Structure 1
Amino acid sequence: MTRASNTPTAELSQVPFVDPSAPSLQLFVSALSGRGRALRLAPQAAALLRERGWEVEVVVTHREDDPGQLAAASTHQRVGVFGGDGYIAHIASEVGKRGGIVIPLPGGRGNDLCRCLGIGTDALAHIGTLPQASEIVSPQAGTIGRFRDVDAMRVAPLAHAGEAQNLDAQGVLSSEASQVLGLVSFGLDALANQIGNESPFSSGTLAYAWGAVCALAKFKPRTMEIEVDGQVRRIRGWLVSVSNSGWFGGGINIVPTSNPSDGKLELLTVDPVPKHQAIRVLARVLATRRVDDPIVHVETVSRVKILDSAGLIAMGDGDQVAHGSVEISVQPGVFRVFA
């Protein structure tokens, strides 16, 4: 077992004898995700994976570490990732570049990516459903039917005057682009995400609910200028979101039609209705964990440019990913998971 910084914890360093011929799996564990939840459960997760026939090397990452860089430096073709959505996204994208396989394990507060992939929110229970390692790495593994290519969204700032020398072929600043697996949001839900991140709740569901109530008290509908597949629009409303997975807020399936493996995105907007009506809709969303209301509009798209964000920031996979004008486009098959 290795650790990206400091000294290994006692439990994780007690590695039992493993057959050296066993298939190897590198397990990245976030010490921060879920307020330490992933780290607390990591010894049990590693033990269960070894019972499934893996030779497991555990890497614990901390605040000062860059998980993407560590994953890029790894040579393992099979990588487990135990953490939140953003953590899984950083590591999985790098593993995908070398054609590796990712086994995501939910260890964050919301775990919306794992919900979307059918993994659920209990990492230990999910490990118990995995076949033996020898079956996953065998030439006949494709018949198991649990491999899945996952798309991502590329979020890249649009250039301003004088920045043309840094543009890629699409006219965006590729050097500053980031990847998002779930949703990119502007407006009420993005503010709720920010407030929820700073809340004391260990549950992503409670954190988002608290954030949404607080955000609704201070947020007002904004007017944004966007370009959807080449057509410019001015949209006024409570929020604008671009979806790859359809899940957010610790278990809200806001866009049921989203499929992170279909090479498409969905644009979601919410009309600028009065606050009392918005409160009723939000209450139903928080209670049912689904969105079904005439003020919510969804359409399938492939590329969205936020030309004027009305000063709003963009949140994606639980983190801030942009501020200002950006282009959001689909990136098919960025990595492959075994879920």
Structure 2
Amino acid sequence: MRAYTALINPISGGGRAAERWEPIARLLREAGAAVTVCPTRSREHAVALASSAARRGEIVVAVGGDGLVRDAACGVVAGNGTLGIVPAGRGNDLARTLGLPDGDRELARLLLDATARAIDVLEVGGVVVPGNVYAGIDSMATAVINRNRWLPGALLYRLAPIRAVLTWRPATYTITADGRTRELRGQTVVVANSGSYGHGLRIVPTARLDDGMLDVLVVREGRLHRIASFLRAAKTGAHLDLPEVEVSTAREVALAADRPIPLCADGDEIGTLPATIRVLPASLRVLAPTAPRQSR
């Protein structure tokens, strides 16, 4: 029988993560599983708890949003363990991409019975990132989101990019992808593994979690005043047809800019440019439904 250590972010979902976890924990215990609950105090605390539990052979369950999933994944990869996810945050974009169910019984059954699926992760400055790394308007919008947690998630994720536009000016980026360097003026750069963020936007729809590649989306200078229409187009992937948008692939990307720009990963600021992002293929085992076959 599996044993579980649940990491609970006390502020996820407006402070309701523990409430979200309790009925699932009850179902696991009724099935005979051992369940330990650990509230997290910081990123470092979450990583250390996840690493220790993984090394003990326990399944680490991240009960929170994409930020906690990222921190738990960092510890799970270090401890060569397995990750479970109970989405309890505002965006829950990785859970959505993985196709996790919503119901308590369905999530409990998945945690009890699912075979672990191996997915890629990104690594940047020692931080493991299951989803995406980004710098530009998107990282400025993330700062707005994290300063306004009291607003409803769906509304906040739509207003934040518009707010970020008001103080943004295009940057000159230097991008070195697998040894090839170029310079361009742009609004934002996304290095994607899952391709999904912003409460359900498929910002890089070509990205795959298990193809061993990074997808690099660049939005060049232009059409900044049309951010609302850009976000609408991103719901369907139509934004890829815009002339200022381009996508390429690589295994390692070095990213720099002509001024300090925040670098974000799965909903949190993790530093500033410059940075180097690389893919670690099939490095994270996660309990999730079997992935459908996909092609580029």
If the TM-score is normalised by the length of the shorter chain, which range does it land in?
0.7 to 0.9
251-260 or 97-106, larger mean C-alpha shift = 97-106
Equivalence for 1:82: 63
Q: Which of 139, 147, 159 is residue 116 of structure 2 equivalent to?
A: 147
Report the CA distance shift for 1:34/1:229 in structure 2 as closer, same or farther (over 3 A).
same
Question: Is it true that 1:109 corresponds to 2:78 in the alignment?
Answer: no
- Rounded to whole Å, the distance in 2 between the matches of 1:152 and 1:103 is 15
Q: Which residue identity lines up with residue 103 of structure 1 in the other structure?
A: G
Contact in 1 for aligned 2:73/2:129 (Cα 8 Å) = no
What does the per-residue CA deviation read over 1:158-192, in whole Å, with 9 as the maximum and x for residues that have no partner? xxxxxxxxxxxxxxxxxxx2222211111111111
Q: Are 1:236 and 2:205 an aligned pair?
A: no
Three-state SS of the structure 1 residue aligned to 2:225 is helix
The answer to whether the 8 Å contact 1:205/1:251 transfers is no
Match of 1:48 among 10, 13, 27: 27
Query: Aligned with 1:256: secondary structure?
Result: coil
1-side partners of 2:11 and 2:212: how far apart? 31
Unaligned runs of at least 5 residues, structure 1: 1-21, 137-143, 157-176
C-alpha change, 1:232 and 1:102, in structure 2 (3 Å) is same
Match of 2:230 in 1: 281
Offset at residue 205 of structure 1 (A): 2.8
Larger radius of gyration: 1
Amino acid at match of 1:99: N
CA RMSD of aligned residues (A): 2.3
1:35-84 residue CA offsets vs partner (Å, 9 max, x unmatched): 21212222222112224442222222235971111222232432222111
Q: Is the 8 A contact 1:309 1:325 kept in 2?
A: no
- Rounded Cα–Cα distance in structure 1 between residues aligned with 2:149 and 2:47: 27
Instruction: Using the TM superposition, give the Cα deviation of residue 292 of structure 1 relative to its aligned residue in structure 2, in angstroms.
Output: 3.8
Q: Structure 2 vs 1, CA of residues 251 and 72 (structure 1 numbering), >3 Å: closer, same or farther?
A: same
- Residue 293 of structure 2 is matched in structure 1 by none
Structure 2 residue 100 is the aligned partner of structure 1 residue 119: yes
Alignment correspondent of 1:35:
14
Is the contact between residue 239 and residue 270 of structure 1 (CA under 8 Å) also seen in structure 2?
A: yes
Match 1:93 to one of 61, 65, 74: 74
Structural mapping, 1:173-184, within 5 Å: 177-184=126-133
Structure 2 segments unaligned to the other structure (5+ residues): 289-296
Q: If the length of structure 1 is used for normalisation, what is the TM-score?
A: 0.77
Q: Which residue is equivalent to 2:140?
A: 191
Q: Hey, what does 1:163 align to over in structure 2?
A: none
**2: CA distance, partners of 1:127 / 1:87:** 18
SS at match of 1:92: helix
**TM-score normalized with structure 2 length:** 0.87
CA distance in 2, matches of 1:37, 1:309: 41
